[in-house]
Amino acid sequence: MNSEMKAPWGKRLRRSGRLLGCAALLWAAGCATGPKKTAAIFFPLPPDEPRIQYLTSFSSESDLSEGTSFADFVLGSEKAHRPIWKPYGLTTTPGKLYVCDTQPANVGIIDLNKRKIRYLRPEGQGAMQLPINVAVDKDGTRYVTDTKRCQVLIYGADDSYLGAIGQKGEMKPCGIALAGDRLLVTDLSNHCVRVYAKANRELLFTVPRTTDEKARLYQPTNLAVDDQGRIYVSDTGGYAAQVYGPDGTHLRSIGQMGLTPGNFVRPKGIGVDRQGRVYVVDAAITVVQVFDNEGRTLMFFGEPATSGKGALYLPAGLAIDYDNVHLFQKHAAPGYKIEFLIFVANQAGPRKVNVYGFLQKG
């Protein structure tokens, strides 16, 4: 072996030795002092009763693992570090979290049980260009809105490309949700929500179904559907959240342009829990606001100035999840149980997905 080949290996071995030495010191220090406990981060702030707790966050597969091997850390194993770069929309199924990652143009599929990440990153006709939001059906079919292709891309449970909704110039999809036998998609270019029959992908009608100014949508980005079929739309350009009945009838508006609680600057992700409480992300103020089922302001959480690790950084998508509570209960503060989870995607900052728990007394 010549000297040119020896040099890099020598440098790597010396570097590994230094890292091993540092690791040994850190391990010894940890054994001496024991694990450091951190105070729980609650919302709202004292003296109000805690309702929501920041539980954890992650930006890569390493963050999910309870014990990433030191060899993986030294060698930079892709398996150990699969990252999330710039997430927008997300959704959950039992045991899984799906994250639309706009920078690498893929959907990260996070196995919450195995703490592993793999990517849905098809090529050819099914290749994504700018995936924004994702919905997953009970049979595993994935629907992804791509605002650069201007289509809804459809993939099977086996990752196969099944086709697309939308012709060239027809729409600019953003938000997406499933509701029984229907598929709902927000359309930025036509300022509406498009409601399709899921089985044959036929357009049934658009929302709003009236010219009433109160029902109007300016820049509908994200949406959610409750168990009664009501449609909740974050209207970024209208500085509000709009609520419609299953047939598209306008029910109410939530908020208007403003910096005070109950109003919005840049509403994006939206969700609704089983009690009818509505959760709306404001990407500009970097909080999630919570409203009751009549649109009255209840609280907010995630403000960087007060929340430390629970802070939000250019937040976008939001998902309410009841199926995976048992996997995060260990993070709950003593005396509390988690009723459901709130996942929020951060497009910037050190933590790409924040996980919060809605609390009930244990």
Listed residue (136, 69, 58, 128) closest to 327, CA to CA? 58
Tens of pLDDT along 188-239? 999 999 999 999 999 999 999 988 999 999 999 999 999 999 999 999 999 9
Label residue 121 exposed, middle or buried (CB < 10 Å: 0-12, 13-18, 19+).
middle
Instruction: Quick: pLDDT tens for 8-26.
Output: 323 333 443 443 344 333 3
Model pTM score:
0.87
**Residues 330-344: pLDDT tens digits?**
999 999 999 999 999
Low-confidence ranges of the chain (pLDDT < 50): 1-35, 67-80
- Report DSSP state, residue 137: -
- Non-local (6+) Cβ contacts of 260 within 8 A are none
Encode burial over 66-86: b for 16+ CB neighbours within 10 A, e otherwise. eebeeebeeeeeeebbbbbeb
